Structure 1
Amino acid sequence: MTHDILISPLTAQAFAPFGDVLNCDGAPDKIINAGLCGRFHDRAKVDVGDGRVGISLFRSELRQLPYTLDLVERHPDGSQAFIPMSMDPFLVVVADNDLAPQAFITAPGEAINFHRGVWHGVLTPLSGPGLFAVIDRISEGPNLEEYHFDRPYRVIFDD
């Protein structure tokens, strides 16, 4: 038997306990490049502890809804940002310290940054294989914990 999790739109306020929403909402902080570019400055807190910042590329398989959530993971030593390299929305699953999951859907072009130690689902593109730039901690030693749910959750849109 599964439990249902309803998908909500991603908002900065709802996501704040888990991380940062990276988008271009509002006016740019600064206009640069001879007035042809708006800079939306310092949108995420990158936390790498005693490691260094790394930029990697992740290619993830297409996922379907309803999505079966049976695993979450976290990175105790640093934050992890996922920046889609397309304008396709993707599913974001997070869980509090009691491992109660919540699900969000990004708007086209939005990215997210999980704070250090936040339980989260795996990359879940919904519109084809996903290619993401990932900014996270690079260091020796493990920085990954996984939790497998005894009973999976079913992630769905509210009808």
Structure 2
Amino acid sequence: MTRIVAEPISAEAFAPFGDLIDISGEPDKIINQGQCGRYHDRAKLDFSDARAGISLFSANSREMPYLLEMVERHPDGSQAFIPMTHQPFLVVVAPDEGGKPGQPRAFITQAGQAVNYHRGTWHGVLTPLHGPGLFAVVDRIGVGLNLEEYWFSTPYEVVNR
């Protein structure tokens, strides 16, 4: 079994796969009578011939080391995962290599960070590391199958740094 070491997530490292959504830097604007910083337009939502929808996911928490057996992708729309608790979660992504996932990479978010997977990005399933695993998910709502799964012949083991 091949081991993948999970690294802290950064906008630069995650950029080939999607957007890191966080409040880094200064707010773009101060609103609400000076009581709120707006960090504007932090993710590119991308949906083919459909609309954006907000769903709530309640996922069981997982432990490290984590056994990565499969990844999935959504060819017709981006998918944003926004935690509704202040807990980190595991993010696994892989580049596309001729219609199949290449070598996976693993990241650990910090509390208060979210991710938006670009359309067609291979990624692991929702993997909260602490309960409750409550997330708001913004993704494509429309007709047609928008899911491809790939099961690895040999699973990967994702470990902490």
**What is the aligned partner in structure 2 of residue 57 from structure 1?**
56
Unaligned runs of 5+ in 1: none
CA RMSD of aligned residues (A): 0.6
Letter in 1 for 2:10: T
Number of residue equivalences: 157
Letter in 2 for 1:60: A
Q: 2:53 is paired with a residue of what secondary structure?
A: strand
Q: 2:81 is paired with a residue of what secondary structure?
A: strand
**What is the aligned partner in structure 2 of residue 43 from structure 1?**
42
Query: Displacement of 1:129 after TM fit?
Result: 3.2
Unaligned runs of 5+ in 2: none
Distance 1:58 1:23 in 2: 20
CA contact (8 A) 2:85 2:132 kept: no
What is the percent sequence identity of the aligned residues? 62
Distance 1:39 1:48 in 2: 24
Distance 1:62 1:41 in 2: 30
Q: 1:31 is paired with a residue of what secondary structure?
A: strand
> What TM-score does the superposition give when structure 2 sets the normalisation length?
0.96
Deviations 1:65-102 (A, max 9, x none): 10000000000000000000000000000001132100
> What TM-score does the superposition give when structure 1 sets the normalisation length?
0.97
Deviations 1:87-141 (A, max 9, x none): 0000000001132100000010100000000000000001123000000000011
Distance 2:52 2:151 in 1: 28
Deviations 1:50-79 (A, max 9, x none): 100000000101101100000000000000
Letter in 2 for 1:125: P
**What is the aligned partner in structure 1 of residue 147 from structure 2?**
144
Distance 2:132 2:32 in 1: 33
Distance 1:49 1:40 in 2: 26
Query: Displacement of 1:49 after TM fit?
Result: 1.4
Detail structure 1 runs of 4+ shifted over 6 Å in the superposition.
none
Distance 1:13 1:70 in 2: 26
